[in-house]
Amino acid sequence: MNDMEKFTAEREALNKLVLDYGGLEIKRFFSLDSQVYREGSIPVKYKELMGLVASLVLRCDDCVKYHIGRAFDENVTDSEMEETMAIGLVVGGSITIPHLRRAIKAWDELKQKGNTNE
Amino acid sequence: MNDMEKFTAEREALNKLVLDYGGLEIKRFFSLDSQVYREGSIPVKYKELMGLVASLVLRCDDCVKYHIGRAFDENVTDSEMEETMAIGLVVGGSITIPHLRRAIKAWDELKQKGNTNE
Amino acid sequence: MNDMEKFTAEREALNKLVLDYGGLEIKRFFSLDSQVYREGSIPVKYKELMGLVASLVLRCDDCVKYHIGRAFDENVTDSEMEETMAIGLVVGGSITIPHLRRAIKAWDELKQKGNTNE
Amino acid sequence: MNDMEKFTAEREALNKLVLDYGGLEIKRFFSLDSQVYREGSIPVKYKELMGLVASLVLRCDDCVKYHIGRAFDENVTDSEMEETMAIGLVVGGSITIPHLRRAIKAWDELKQKGNTNE
Amino acid sequence: MNDMEKFTAEREALNKLVLDYGGLEIKRFFSLDSQVYREGSIPVKYKELMGLVASLVLRCDDCVKYHIGRAFDENVTDSEMEETMAIGLVVGGSITIPHLRRAIKAWDELKQKGNTNE
Amino acid sequence: MNDMEKFTAEREALNKLVLDYGGLEIKRFFSLDSQVYREGSIPVKYKELMGLVASLVLRCDDCVKYHIGRAFDENVTDSEMEETMAIGLVVGGSITIPHLRRAIKAWDELKQKGNTNE
């Protein structure tokens, strides 16, 4: 398993644990969290890129990885990804650089698996 | 002048002061800050909405107001605005609510001026 | 109207506007936001103080004011309030001091209205 | 050693190093940091849960782990823990979810060691 | 009174209120908060500029104003101030710009009073 | 390789990847990021310590490590380092403690390599 696959496997195992312990409010929050990224007036692809920018400026590596995986599934191109990261970097400043590095590594890993979006 | 107009006037006066005092690095940063929102692989409208989500989760009222003004200029509709804010609210949590209130007030003010985007 | 009364009036007017514009997700979030502070295994009073500490370390003046108002309604005493703020200050550091000042001013204003909790 | 034991051992070794290098101000800060959680008008248990909520919304995994360990020592129940985390999640938003996952894993690990609080 | 004078007057009135309500821990924190900026191996002037950068990246207007006033007292020059702000802007990103604007306005106000540091 | 050496090697490999994917804006940001720390009215040493305080209060371990390495190169002494960290701790609060621990560990590792700055 590469990094992204390990991340996804661990994420799913822990989400199960969260829902085991979690009461109604936590379950409702998780449900809301998927609803807001659904297709609407704004296409899913751009919603995922919004989630990515938000995750980058808030400097949450796991959230960044998750939205990068989703962006890849939505056929985001290299240049769309690059423009999104440039916005995150300028809004969030140099403090986001370590997260940007790991973001690009995750993106590169997905691209290297052979099924590129370009 | 309504709130948005006052905000824009004050913003411009202070930007002038920043560029008077600011050296090369600050000027370059300001230039970069406008470059990343230019039309590219991602349309300007979505770049502005990304800037808005980032501003909302980082809870910067002035940044929120600025991107709301820009989103209005880019003919963002009520439902695109609403979906964007829902993402910001879910990512950033209830701590963003006071900023969300002021964001919607600013949006409402722009809409009330008669030139609605719907 | 004193500061707290103005704050409450404005908060309600804007909440109405949020719910006018807001779709299902925003309404659900607002509903969740009140559910988590309801009486449960943890008494309401302590839940409000948790909300206050969280608001203080995240430095959200409006959120601080709201939970101070709620804490007052739940008959929190001066020394409970002081201990809560000391935790917020130590966790969040000197950057929280301006918010702490305004928090204590809001608390003092509620106490001065004559119906003290001590 | 499980995760929580490793965390505690490393934390103690590094705290020693901090106090070796640290001058009077750092030592005083560490002392203040334990004083604010002492029994007072608010019981220790609730102070620890306040520290936990603050750590969760500020997204500090080590701080979360520490307060979860302390909450366990103070006989916090599963449902008190769950209500605390729900407040943290709603205040801090989806960006806290990766930290929530690790928090619940740490809590689960403590419970699995056989000396449950229920 | 100009903005900086109003700020200082209000700050002092509220600090008094904080110390009236505050217990031992809050008083100790306030004392620590002045100790760390005292002359040591690092000259006071640079400590104040460190406090300013920290306040700028954490986006606390009152903290920024306070350290700008202190920097002025310590005879910081325009170009030292400009270099400090450039670091804050690059570390913290465009989200700090509204705070940078107000910072430069406060600095300009101090300089305009006739007793310039250049 | 010790921790600091591993960190530096990985940082360089990933920076290369960032510049491979990154467009003009990201490259310009990286360039700005080195310009602001250059010798000017403020000596490089103090600029690095400002970068360190900013990184500590924003709780970015990689940024902290980087500036600690740079501070070591600039012959920062133990007591200058200690005073800088005390400012970061007081401004940022107890939530910075886990980062402070790792910062001191990195500093200690550099000192243990035999070429001490004292």
Q: Which chains touch A (3 or more CB pairs under 8 A)?
A: B, C, D, E, F
Please judge whether C14 and B104 are an interchain contact, meaning their C-beta atoms are less than 8 angstroms apart.
yes
pLDDT digits (tens, 9 = 90+) for A27-55: 999 999 999 999 999 999 999 999 999 99
Q: Is the pLDDT assigned to residue A92 strictly greater than 70?
A: yes
Query: Looking at the complex, does the CB of residue D7 fall below 8 Å from at least one CB of chain C?
Result: no
pLDDT of B57: 98
Q: Which residues of C touch A30 (CB under 8 A)?
A: none
Query: Looking at the complex, does the CB of residue E71 fall below 8 Å from at least one CB of chain B?
Result: no
Report percent pLDDT > 90 for chain A.
85
Q: Which residues of C51-75 are buried (b: 16+ CB within 10 A; e: fewer)?
A: bbbbbbbbbbbbbbbbbbbbbbebe
Report d(CA C60, CA B95) in Å as an integer. Answer: 7
Q: Is the pLDDT assigned to residue E94 strictly greater than 60?
A: yes
pLDDT band at residue B4 under the 50/70/90 scheme: confident
Q: Is the pLDDT assigned to residue E116 strictly greater than 60?
A: no
Q: Which chains touch C (3 or more CB pairs under 8 A)?
A: A, B, D, E, F
Determine which of B22-26, C71-75, E42-46, E77-81 has the lowest per-residue pLDDT on average.
B22-26
Report percent pLDDT > 70 for chain B.
96
Answer yes or no: pTM beyond 0.90: yes
Give the CB-side neighbour count of residue C76, counting CA atoms within 13 A.
28
User: So what's the ipTM on this one?
Assistant: 0.94
Q: Is the pLDDT assigned to residue E118 strictly greater than 60?
A: no
Return the domain boundaries, chain D.
3-112
Q: Tell me the mean pLDDT in the region F64-79.
A: 97
Q: Is the pLDDT assigned to residue A118 strictly greater than 60?
A: no
Smallest Cα distance from C91 to chain B, Å: 17
Q: How far is CA E93 from CA A97, B33, D92, in A?
A: 11, 9, 22
Query: Looking at the complex, does the CB of residue C85 fall below 8 Å from at least one CB of chain D?
Result: no
pLDDT of E4: 85
Q: Which chains touch E (3 or more CB pairs under 8 A)?
A: A, B, C, D, F
Please judge whether B92 and D93 are an interchain contact, meaning their C-beta atoms are less than 8 angstroms apart.
yes
pLDDT of E113: 83
Distance of CA B8 to the CA centre of its chain: 11
Q: Is the pLDDT assigned to residue D65 strictly greater than 60?
A: yes
pLDDT of D70: 97
Query: Looking at the complex, does the CB of residue D62 fall below 8 Å from at least one CB of chain F?
Result: yes
pLDDT band at residue A59 under the 50/70/90 scheme: very high
pLDDT band at residue F113 under the 50/70/90 scheme: confident
Q: Which residues of A touch B28 (CB under 8 A)?
A: none
Q: Is the pLDDT assigned to residue E78 strictly greater than 90?
A: yes
Q: Tell me the mean pLDDT in the region D16-44.
A: 95
Q: Is the pLDDT assigned to residue B1 strictly greater than 80?
A: no
Q: Tell me the mean pLDDT in the region C40-54.
A: 98
Q: Which residues of D touch C50 (CB under 8 A)?
A: 49-50, 53, 84, 87
Q: Tell me the mean pLDDT in the region B28-54.
A: 98
Q: What own/partner pairs with CB < 8 Å and gap ≥ 24 does B47-50 have?
A: B47/A83, B47/A87, B48/B74, B48/B76, B49/A42, B49/A46, B49/A50, B49/B76, B49/B80, B49/B84, B50/A49, B50/A50, B50/A53, B50/A84, B50/A87
Q: Please choose, from the candidates D118, D52, D41, the residue with its C-alpha nearest in 3D space to the C-alpha of residue D84.
A: D52
| CATH architecture of the domain with range A3-112 | Up-down Bundle (1.20)
pLDDT digits (tens, 9 = 90+) for F1-23: 778 889 999 999 999 999 889 89
Smallest Cα distance from E90 to chain A, Å: 5
* CA closest to F96 among chain D residues: D60
Smallest Cα distance from C28 to chain A, Å: 8
Report d(CA F67, CA F11) in Å as an integer. Answer: 13
pLDDT band at residue D118 under the 50/70/90 scheme: low
Report d(CA C51, CA C87) in Å as an integer. Answer: 12
pLDDT digits (tens, 9 = 90+) for D67-98: 999 999 999 999 999 999 999 999 999 999 99
Q: Is the pLDDT assigned to residue F90 strictly greater than 80?
A: yes
Q: Tell me the mean pLDDT in the region B94-110.
A: 96
Query: Looking at the complex, does the CB of residue A83 fall below 8 Å from at least one CB of chain F?
Result: yes
pLDDT band at residue B115 under the 50/70/90 scheme: low
pLDDT band at residue D1 under the 50/70/90 scheme: confident
Q: Is the pLDDT assigned to residue B118 strictly greater than 60?
A: no
Q: Is the pLDDT assigned to residue B67 strictly greater than 60?
A: yes
Mutation for A interface: F28, F29, F47, F96, most A CBs within 10 A: F29
pLDDT band at residue B114 under the 50/70/90 scheme: low
List CB contacts of B18: < 8 A, sequence separation 6 or more.
Answer: B26, B30, E97, E100, E101, E104
Q: Tell me the mean pLDDT in the region A17-26.
A: 91
pLDDT of D117: 56
Report d(CA A80, CA C5) in Å as an integer. Answer: 48
Q: Is the pLDDT assigned to residue D116 strictly greater than 60?
A: no
